[in-house]
Structure 1
Amino acid sequence: MLKITALPTNITRTLQAGGPDANGQPPERCLSDGGGNPCRHCLRYIPKGAEMLILAHRPFPAPQPYAEVGPIFLCADECPRYDGGEMPEALQGSPDYLVKGYGADDRIVYGTGAVVEQAQMLEQAGQIFTDPRVAYIHIRSARNNCYKARIDRG
């Protein structure tokens, strides 16, 4: 069984309170234009006119050559963390995604990355997890490489 994992609540609450992002800067605050700004905590789209945060995020425990930093969106107000179940709204809006496996050392496991149709994402993740070196998988934008969520063994 596979589990889509959203950004942890403790990290999200720190950022929502103005804590520094991966670049050491406070998150930028702006209003969502409703054009598809997916919150990485609730994994829903931030509604038009709602306040949101834009910030640099590094979804790894420490800096190292494979620890990519990129922009993400968060709801500015507290939101509930996605808790599994159905495919989250924020992962239904694109026809395809980049998925790639990482080892326990938080480095890319070469040969696991693929751009796959949204409907095939979890099936592809299951294939990636057949490699015993893979500890977890990132879901990223196929067009901009932005971090969306993580897939873990459930």
Structure 2
Amino acid sequence: MRIHALPADVLDRARARAGADEHHELHPESPGAPLRCCLRRAGDGEPVVLFRYSPTAGRGPYEEVGPVFAHVEPCGGPETTAALPEAFRHAQRLLRAYAADGRIHGGEVAAPERLEDGISGLLDDPAVVEVQVRSASHGCFLFAVTRD
């Protein structure tokens, strides 16, 4: 499995617009906010930008837009892209599998202890090119997973 945070170009655009309009809210601090740039929770005093994001998987009628948080200043990104981020393993997650044409190709709700098995099971289908991991309560995009 390979874990994907938000792409650098998406983050660069959001950071450049932080606080400039209603779609790029600047928050001087939001402790505990789930950061999609480095796949951890924000700490005290870390400025973040809250903005709209549409993952590249999910095109046409399957395209979704939702709110995501990222550091205002560039960070080092995720500690690893080979393991699921610990900061996002505490609750049920919605897993959505997408085929190369951008259509949903399955999905499930996974309990924290079944998250890795659920993702692996969806990626076992050769038609699946990406699994999106989302908040089960809010539907927000957290990160994407592809095969190694």
TM, length-normalised to structure 1? 0.84
Q: Structure 1: which 5+ runs fail to align?
A: none
Alpha-carbon shift at residue 25 of structure 1 (Å): 5.8
Instruction: Output the CA distance in 1 between the equivalents of 2:146 and 2:50.
Output: 25
Q: Gaps (5+ residues) in structure 2?
A: none
1:125: Cα distance to partner?
1.2
Give the structure 1 partner of residue 111 of structure 2: 117
1:108 to 104, 109, 112: 104
Q: Which of the two has greater helix per residue?
A: 2
For these two proteins, the number of residue pairs brought into alignment is: 145
User: For 1:45-86, what per-residue CA distance to the aligned partner results, in whole angstroms no more than 9, with x for missing partners?
Assistant: 111232110111001278621010000101111111213144
Q: Which has the higher strand share?
A: 2
- Asked if residue 42 in structure 1 is aligned to residue 41 in structure 2, the reply is no
1:73 matched residue in structure 2: 69
TM superposition outliers: structure 1 runs of 4+ over 6 Å: none
Give me the identity figure in percent. Answer: 28
TM-score, normalised to structure 2, is 0.87
CA RMSD of aligned residues (A): 2.0
1:15 and 1:26 in contact (8 A); partners too: no
Pairs within 5 Å for 1:54-69 = 54-60=50-56, 64-69=60-65
Q: Give the SS at the match of 2:35.
A: coil
Cα deviation, 1:75-98, whole Å, max 9, x if unaligned, reads: 111111213144324313x32111
